[in-house]
Amino acid sequence: MKRSWQIFWHIIFWLGLIAFFASIARYSGKMTTEAVLVVFVLYGAINISVFYLNYSLLIPRFLDKKNYKLYAAGIVAAIIAFGLIKYGGGLVFKSYILVGLRKHESTFWEYFFKTTFTTTVFLFLSAVLKFTVDWFLNERVQRDLENQRLSAELSFLKSQINPHFLFNSLNSIYSLAYQKSDTTPEAILKLSEIMRYMLYECNDNKVELTKELQYLQNYIDLQKIRFGNKAFIDFEVTGEITNQHIVPLLLISFIENAFKHGIANDALAPIKLKINLEDGHLYFFIQNKKHTHNRDSSGGIGLANVRRRLDLLYPGKYNLDIRDEADTYTCQLSLVL
């Protein structure tokens, strides 16, 4: 909230509070209009001054800096100073302040100790407000810092995807070009479509599910070209696709790993890829026959990346089950869209 608005609402609060108590006192019939103005308006302004002396000066300058001795000295000085100011006002408006509804005039010490209590109450309330406001501000700053940290981490994770994918795809196209394959131009076109999606469609936190599925299909087509149309994958999408959205580039790592570490050219053991949409959930299933000798010496970043993104973007809304068996590798993901 802007400082001008804070000042505005503080003024409205104090005016409303003074008006409320003044109207009660006035309409009770026990105090005249002049007495109400002196007691509630004049002394209300003095008590409000006590409040903001502590709120705006003593706490920020001494207590927030852990200078407890000076803060305590400031509090004592404020209590004494405002007690004297109030007693001085009482001498000017004796009939309203020192006598009021009582039968005798208050002595200096009687009035001083009474007004010390009032001053202490306002000092306490200002401290409570200051600590509460500072706590909420600190919480907001911490949330902003955490959001910035998460955004930076997500940006980093996403930046890992593009080079990782591009590196694998260019290796495939290089292999086709080296073999002087007639499918090289088609592969380059497919890669161009994929990169266009990754560069221009994936800048938002979520994308349309239809576009993400088309991206997966383009990737599969590119892999089929790479294998000389001898890549066998059973890709099936079931359920109703309407206006669902999904975090972009979330599923591609599973498919990349199936082609990279699995056997894709066995017609009797194709890669099985199923996506089912049901009741606001996406169910993803992929299974491939394993290469026993093909291991990524670098360890790979795909699955570690997608796990972290799921933790950040779908906390408590996903279940990932990975089964690394002797001959097959299976991934199952259920996701609340």
Least confident of 1-5, 13-17, 191-195, 281-285: 1-5
pLDDT higher than threshold 80 for residue 41: no
Interacting residues of 336 by C-beta distance below 8 A, sequence separation 6+: 280, 281, 314, 317, 318
What is the reported pLDDT for 237? 92
- Mean pLDDT for all residues in the chain: 80
Higher pLDDT, 106 or 231: 231
pLDDT higher than threshold 80 for residue 293: no
Q: Which DSSP string corresponds to 256-280?
A: HHHHHHEE-S-TTSPEEEEEEEETT
What is the reported pLDDT for 297? 40
Least confident of 17-26, 248-257, 269-278, 309-318: 17-26
Q: How far is CA 23 from CA 14, 32, 42, 44, in A?
A: 14, 11, 15, 14
pLDDT higher than threshold 90 for residue 39: no
Domains of the chain from N-terminus onward: 3-143 (no CATH), 183-336 (3.30.565.10)
Higher pLDDT, 85 or 150: 85
Q: Quickly state the pLDDT bin for 298 (edges 50, 70, 90).
A: very low
Interacting residues of 144 by C-beta distance below 8 A, sequence separation 6+: none
Interval 51-69 mean pLDDT? 88
Helices 108-178 and 184-196 pack at an angle, to 10 degrees, of 170
Which tens digits make up the pLDDT trace of 102-153?
556 677 788 788 888 888 888 998 999 889 888 888 888 777 766 666 666 6
Higher pLDDT, 161 or 44: 44
Percent of residues, the chain, with pLDDT higher than 90 = 16
Q: Quickly state the pLDDT bin for 319 (edges 50, 70, 90).
A: very high
Least confident of 108-117, 164-173, 318-327: 164-173
pLDDT higher than threshold 80 for residue 219: yes
Interval 82-102 mean pLDDT? 74
Backbone angles phi, psi at 78, to 5 degrees: -65, -45
* Local structure of 294: helix, strand or coil: coil
